[in-house]
Amino acid sequence: MRQFSLWLRGKPLVADSMLALGLLVFDLTAIGAAVQPAVYLVLAGLLPLPIALRRRYPRSMSAAMVALAIGTTLLGYLLDDAVQHPALLGLGVMLYTLVAYVGRREGLILLVALAVDSLLAMALLHQPTTTTLAFVAVYYALCWTLAEFNGARHAYDAEVAARLAVADDELRRRTHEAVAAERTRIARELHDVVAHAVSVIIVQADGARFALRRDPDAAERSLGVIAATGRDALRELRRTVELLRTEHAPGELPQHGTAGIAKVVAMMRGTGLAVELEMTGAIDDITPEVSLGVHRIVQESLTNTLRHAGAHPKAWVRVHRREHDVLIEVTDSGGAPVADSPSGAPGASMPGRGVSGRRGEPNSVGGTSSTSASGLGGGSGLGLVGMRERVAVLGGSLTVGPEPGGAWRVCAIIPLELAEHPGSTGMPWR
């Protein structure tokens, strides 16, 4: 029965036609008392017809029903036939339809017309006043009340449907934003892993080609660095892809900490970049997201130094954990000669590593930097942009720019506690 009711709910014409048929059958039960059975039969067939189309054309069908009711009263008066048609109960159905589906104003107009019809029937057909008025008042009041309740339910259903539509649209929008944020996160992670290693490999390959005939030993060392860097990059890439494939609890995320920073510094020293490292404070017990951010900033800054700091480069790395944040400072020689640079290191006199690839106007507005940066082979700008966006997601600030004397300085401050930030995507990197 419930399935049949749900089926009828989507087919109002069928349901209303069944109601009209019910009124017709009910009306035919009184045909035996009619003075003119033929006229009665015609009216019995006409009166339920507006009910079948009441929800499709509520105003016009209500007017037609009232016209048929008044016509029935006049014919009864002219034929001296006072028998009432039970199908006239459809007048209350039409009142219900107007109030529930159209509005109260139209319902009031119909109610006035129904009052005129009732008064006309009492006057012409000599119906009992008290009984007729009581029945009409109770019946029409009941129809109006039911229409109010049903109208409120329809309004509530419409509001719920609208809110569900808005919620679905919001869900689709958030899903799209989450997918875009995840793609951006994956791109940044892969850039951090691959760009560092490929940059080192390019620099060492250039150095090996330059020293191949004049210094075979230096070329051999460069090739060894290339092989080691490639293996480390492949291992790091596999680990990063594995982390990106599945969700991990914060405790399962890699802790880069002091060991990770020391490993990066050792690798860069192996490429011929002189690096001095200073770490103060407890770095190993900070959250994985902040720890990874510190690691990537040091890694990217030293990679940029190797690319662009000219011959005999040197860098100074300082990582200092303070009470509420971590200060990362990476300063390089900026291409100026440094007396204690290792002269025999591979790539120490490599040509073509000027400072023009990354120099620009400094910017120290919280978490932003308009300084251009060179990418693989120069000029793509992904390195410093990646650092800027990573620091912004972590709620910190980044300052990048030249220092007096030609040095280049990267300074980042990352808070220990992650918080909502205007530049945050809501999804910290892992």
pLDDT in tens, 338-373: 444 333 333 333 333 333 344 443 443 344 333 333
Residue 58 maps to a domain: yes
Residues 6+ away with beta carbon under 8 Å from 290: 326, 394, 414, 415, 416, 418
Residue 215 maps to a domain: yes
> Taking every pair of C-alpha atoms in the chain, what is the biggest distance, in angstroms?
131
Q: Give the DSSP H or E segment for 28.
A: helix 12-28
Together in a domain, 177 and 317: yes
pLDDT in tens, 121-158: 888 888 888 888 999 999 999 999 999 998 888 888 88
Together in a domain, 100 and 208: no
- At 110 the pLDDT is 92
Together in a domain, 117 and 196: no
Q: Give the DSSP H or E segment for 300.
A: helix 288-308
Together in a domain, 115 and 191: no
- Cβ pair 397, 414 in contact under 8 A: no
Together in a domain, 299 and 408: yes
The two tokens of residue 376 are 């693989």
Together in a domain, 233 and 304: yes
Residue 43 maps to a domain: yes
Domain tally, the chain: 2
Together in a domain, 257 and 207: yes
CATH number at residue 239: 3.30.565.10
Domain that holds residue 217: 169-340+352-415
What is the overall mean pLDDT for the chain? 77
The two tokens of residue 373 are 């940066």
The larger pLDDT score, comparing residue 182 to residue 160, is at 160
Q: How far apart are CA 102 and CA 105, in angstroms?
A: 8
The pLDDT of residue 266 is above 80: yes
Residue 269 maps to a domain: yes
- Cβ pair 387, 412 in contact under 8 A: yes
